């Protein structure tokens, strides 16, 4: 029997299993990118407005947040898209790749299904190959849809193909990194946390490197997969050779992952499990304490990542005010208008960071689903643990962590805003603005919980919903008013740019409570694992 025996059947099964996830991710990532690119053509219709935008992007804070800033001397719409959108698209594709690969590799082993499959005529490398093919297919679909969408917006073909290829290579690199990480740990949560941490490190290396050396990038830029793909200079003077670095790195990492499979048992990791006490620590008494311990890796990874992203955003306040002074017509894009340009921009960026906190919540709720599929939920519920306490304890940890990540975003923005604006009160205002988003965050977490409790198979669709919430929150000033009616941020006061109102927040809290109640009720009435 070949080591690849059964690969075709398992690959077909993997794609069929992802028949909802792959289209949802593809439409959400590529569609969001194309929608933002299309809005840029409306917001910045003239060369003068785009050149004024280039001055803002040339600042160190904007460089750390978005990218190295190629083509700023002649800031075309294509260069704007590559500089300001491509980096976030690459991060989204990297997250997609990590979650898909971890699910097919480590989660399948953790649940015991891999051992059952391997009992048949299935080679040692069939499972990893099938998982990699499914994730690679998702990345290819994103790149293809992205090319079609960018061409539809009217951008040049060469630049569109170059930028989409860069997104594809980033996805493949993190696909291979996730496959390798899945060989070292026994648990899917840990493997996902390692993958997310790698994305955060790659983004920070790119940010620091670009700030140090500008357009050429420093050594730190060239050790980041995101830096490699952004170095293609899409829509400026397309370079293809940096993509070879990513392709070679992905191939070498995949080879290491295959080699690691032969050195471990099915279900085990290369890293030996840490020896624990004979009896559980008193701190692990109860479902809530255990859930907090299980989630701590993901909480730390997402929290540090969001806080790190918030720091350069907070330092953009002065540049944004100068930008609006040069082109007052653009003040209509910000809540509060020209009088509160910096606060309006902070409010929009805060939505972006808070949606990232909700992304953690979606991944955490999906991990609860894995507890069911692995059979551990049934074992826990066979003890004197009720369904309400089992699910409620885990949701309490997830909701608390999502709120903490959102507040951390406000703290980070407030610290750098206070320094750059020489305004000590900016810290308090931005922390207050972050607390103002807590009801909306709880509604998003409650929506995830309700889908899990009532129709758990629809959990992948939550990624598309988060994409919609992000677009509605950040571009609500230029979109039709009805577009954002399903987003909780549509009803949240846009602090610190506008005045506070308690009524909508109370309504959102009541809605969040109703969603959590629906989640618990639905979980009580359905079969475990169904």
In a domain? residue 269? no
Would 281 be classed as within a structural domain?
no
Question: Is the domain of 305 the same as that of 228?
Answer: no
Query: Same domain for 103 and 156?
Result: yes
Helices (H), 187-340: 188-213, 225-230, 241-261, 287-314, 317-326
Instruction: Report pLDDT digits (tens) over 38-91.
Output: 888 777 888 887 887 787 777 776 777 777 888 888 889 999 899 888 988 999
Looking at residues 118-137, what average pLDDT do you find?
A: 88
Q: How far apart are CA 511 and CA 519, in angstroms?
A: 12
- Average pLDDT over every residue of 33-42: 84
340 against 248, higher pLDDT: 248
- The rounded distance, in Å, linking the Cα atoms of 358 and 437 is 11
What total of structural domains would you count in the chain? 2
- For residue 278, the surrounding DSSP H or E stretch is none
Q: What's the pLDDT at 332?
A: 58
Residues 50 and 185 in one domain: yes
Tell me: do 231 and 292 sit in the same domain: no
Answer yes or no: do 47 and 183 share one domain: yes
Helix-then-strand count for the chain, H and E: 22, 0
Handedness of CA 195, 398, 311, 83 (dihedral sign): positive
178-182, 404-408, 500-504: range with lowest mean pLDDT: 500-504
Residues 50 and 187 placed together within one structural domain of the fold: yes
Q: What is the 3-state secondary structure (H, E, C) of 302-346?
A: HHHHHHHHHHHHHCCHHHHHHHHHHCHHHHHHCCCCHHHHHHHHH
156 CA to centre of own chain: 28
Of the three residues 262, 277, 309, the one that is the final residue of a domain is 262
- Three-state DSSP state, 361: helix
Dump pLDDT digits (tens) for 154-175.
Answer: 999 999 999 999 999 999 999 9
pLDDT over 60 at 307, yes or no: yes
The verdict on 345 and 254 lying in the same domain is no
Q: Is residue 26 part of a domain?
A: yes
Whether residue 474 sits in one domain with residue 365: yes
Q: SS3 for 459-512, per residue? A: CCHHHHHHHHHHHHHHCCCCCCHHHHCCCHHHCCCCCCCCCCCHHHHHHHHHHH
Domain match, 197 and 89 both = yes
Per-residue pLDDT of 493-507, as tens digits, reads: 888 777 888 899 999
Let me know whether 255 and 348 are in one domain.
no
Question: Do 421 and 467 fall within a single domain?
Answer: yes
For the ranges 4-13, 145-154, 340-349, the lowest mean pLDDT is seen at: 340-349
For residue 340, what pLDDT is reported? 63
Q: Please, which residues have CB within 8 angstroms of residue 135's CB and are 6 or more apart in sequence? A: 97, 100, 101, 104, 171, 175, 178
Checking phi first, is residue 265 left (phi over 0); if not, alpha (psi -120 to 50) or beta? beta
What is the average pLDDT across 468-479?
75
Domain that holds residue 96: 7-262
Determine which of 259-263, 296-300, 340-344, 351-355 has the lowest per-residue pLDDT on average.
340-344
What is the dihedral sign for C-alpha 345, 346, 347, 350?
A: positive
The model carries a pTM of 0.82
In a domain, residue 272? The reply is no
Three-state DSSP at 164 gives: helix
Contact 334, 341 (CB under 8 A): yes
- Determine the distance from the C-alpha atom of residue 216 to the mean position of all C-alpha atoms in its chain, rounded to a whole number: 27
Both 249 and 363 in a single domain? no
| Of 247, 262, 277, the domain-final residue | 262
Query: Is residue 388 included in any domain, yes or no?
Result: yes
Q: Which residues contact 412 (CB under 8 A, 6 or more apart)?
A: 306, 307, 308, 309, 310, 311, 313, 314
**Structural domain ending residue among the three candidates 204, 228, 262:** 262
- Asked if 487 and 438 touch (Cβ cutoff 8 Å), the reply is no
268 lies in some domain: no
């Amino acid at each position: 029997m070949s080591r690849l025996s059964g690969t075709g059947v398992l690959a077909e099964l993997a794609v069929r299993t992802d028949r909802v996830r792959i289209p949802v991710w593809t439409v959400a990532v590529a569609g969001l990118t194309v929608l933002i690119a299309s809005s840029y053509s409306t917001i910045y219709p003239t060369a003068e407005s785009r050149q004024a935008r280039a001055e803002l992007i040339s600042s160190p804070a904007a460089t750390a947040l978005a990218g190295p800033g190629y083509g700023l001397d002649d800031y075309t719409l294509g260069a704007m898209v590559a500089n300001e959108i491509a980096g976030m698209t690459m991060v989204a594709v990297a997250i997609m790749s990590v979650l898909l690969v971890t699910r097919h590799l480590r989660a399948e082993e953790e649940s015991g299904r891999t051992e059952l499959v391997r009992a048949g005529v299935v080679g040692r490398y069939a499972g990893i190959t099938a998982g990699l093919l499914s994730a690679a297919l998702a990345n290819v679909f994103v790149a293809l849809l992205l090319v079609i969408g960018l061409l539809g917006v009217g951008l040049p073909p060469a630049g569109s193909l170059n930028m989409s290829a860069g997104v594809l290579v980033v996805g493949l690199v993190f696909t291979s990194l996730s496959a390798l990480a899945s060989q070292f740990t026994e648990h899917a949560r840990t493997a996902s946390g390692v993958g997310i941490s790698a994305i955060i490190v790659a983004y920070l290396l790119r940010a620091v490197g670009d700030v140090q050396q500008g357009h050429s990038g420093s050594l730190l830029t060239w050790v980041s997969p995101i830096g490699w793909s952004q170095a293609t200079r899409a829509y400026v003077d397309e370079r293809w050779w940096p993509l070879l670095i990513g392709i070679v790195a992905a191939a070498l990492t995949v080879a290491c992952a295959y080699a690691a499979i032969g050195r471990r048992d099915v279900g085990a990791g290369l890293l030996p499990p840490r020896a624990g006490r004979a009896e559980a620590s008193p701190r692990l008494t109860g479902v809530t304490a255990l859930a907090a311990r299980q989630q701590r890796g993901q909480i730390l990874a997402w929290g540090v990542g969001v806080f790190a992203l918030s720091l350069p955003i907070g330092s953009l306040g002065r540049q944004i005010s100068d930008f609006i002074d040069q082109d007052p017509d653009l003040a209509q894009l910000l809540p509060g208008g020209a009088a509160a340009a910096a606060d309006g921009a902070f409010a929009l960026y805060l939505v972006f960071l808070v949606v990232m906190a909700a992304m953690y919540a979606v991944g955490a709720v999906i991990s609860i689903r894995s507890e069911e599929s692995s059979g551990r939920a049934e074992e826990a519920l066979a003890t004197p643990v009720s369904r309400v306490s089992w699910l409620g304890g885990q949701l309490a940890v997830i909701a608390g962590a999502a709120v903490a990540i959102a507040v951390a975003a406000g703290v980070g923005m407030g610290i750098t805003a206070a320094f750059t604006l020489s305004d000590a009160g900016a810290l308090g205002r931005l922390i207050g603005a972050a607390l103002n988003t807590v009801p909306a965050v709880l509604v998003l977490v409650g929506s995830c919980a309700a889908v899990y409790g009532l129709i758990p198979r629809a959990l992948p669709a939550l990624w598309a919903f988060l994409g919609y919430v992000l677009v509605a929150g950040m571009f609500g000033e230029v979109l039709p008013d009805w577009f954002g009616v399903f987003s909780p941020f549509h009803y949240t006061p846009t602090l610190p740019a506008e005045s506070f109102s308690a009524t909508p927040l109370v309504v959102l809290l009541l809605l969040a409570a109703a969603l959590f109640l629906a989640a618990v009720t639905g979980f009580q009435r359905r079969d475990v694992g169904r």
